[in-house]
Structure 1
Amino acid sequence: MDTFAARGHNNASLAEIAGRVDLPQAGVLHYFRSQALLLTSVLELRDQRDIEHLGPDRPQGLDFPRHLVDTALRNAEREGIVRLYAVLSAESVTGDHPAQDYFRDRYHGLRAFVADALREACEPPADRAALTGNAANAIIAVMDGLQVQWLLSPESVDMAASINLVVTSLLATLDPGRFGPHAAG
């Protein structure tokens, strides 16, 4: 994780990775047939750790916005994982990057997950129901962009406060009767 986070896939050396785990390169390749497989295994491990932290049930309804804020707070304590994700997700848009399918699938699943959670959290009027997909895209983009800004200037970026503001604003847009400025308290 540290090597991929610091150097990206293209500049990470299998020799450096092997040295970090005190194995010869052939030993690493015994467990992972290629550096590309090692990379996707590292990304899957990251996801598995997040799933274990989440527990057996995904947050539903209004628990979901709180989960996003909690995720931002947790990410602020794990710079290496955040850097790994930021570097590799950006790199994956190039050529035939080995993690391209991983990130494409991950974003597809995240968009569906976030849109479903937004529909559960609020009941948007029919004229706003189609906006949940766009709102999901916006939330994911904001979270990813905040991570990059935080990595560059951690003292200047409060990821949790920023994501809370965005989610609160989007809920008010999707369901103004419940979450808008004139909603009943």
Structure 2
Amino acid sequence: MRARSGGTRRFRQGATRVALMLSVVSALSLVLAVSSGCASHAIHWSRLSLVAAVDANANHPVAVDLVLSADAEMSDRLAGLSAAQWFAQRETLQALFPNRLRYIAREVVPGQTLALPRAHMTSRRANAAFVFARYGTPGVHRARIATWRGAVTVQLGPERIDVVMDR
């Protein structure tokens, strides 16, 4: 009987160790997922409007891309690009990473207000959202949309882009 009892004790100790190791692995996986920025957000913008000032881009049309990133690594990559770099690389990036980014391209003329259809924003999830505007002047011409709810207005000024969260 003692051999059986000792065997049972060793089995319980082994099972306890395995359970502890699984708990540690699960906790580490959770920490890594959170720290790597895997969080994605459901987009609930009630409206996203592009508003070009009458003197935007020296009175020339402005190409504007809304870019949605699926993960933190892609978000970091996009955050480091100027608009000129984005427009030069967007087809390549889309081809290389079809599941990690999406973009919606529009062109706005000075004085125009353009509302993006809600169909572009419903049922979407993203880690980050950026707007790139192709101006004729040097500059970054990139803005990050910092909200996932409400109305968003992208203001295209004479030489810069601003994002306004309407309440």
TM-score (norm 1): 0.22
TM-score (norm 2): 0.23
Structure ID, larger Rg: 2
Q: Which has more helix, going by share of residues? A: 1
Q: Which has more strand, going by share of residues? A: 2
Considering Cα pairs closer than 8 Å and 6+ residues apart, tell me whether 1 or 2 has the greater RCO: 2
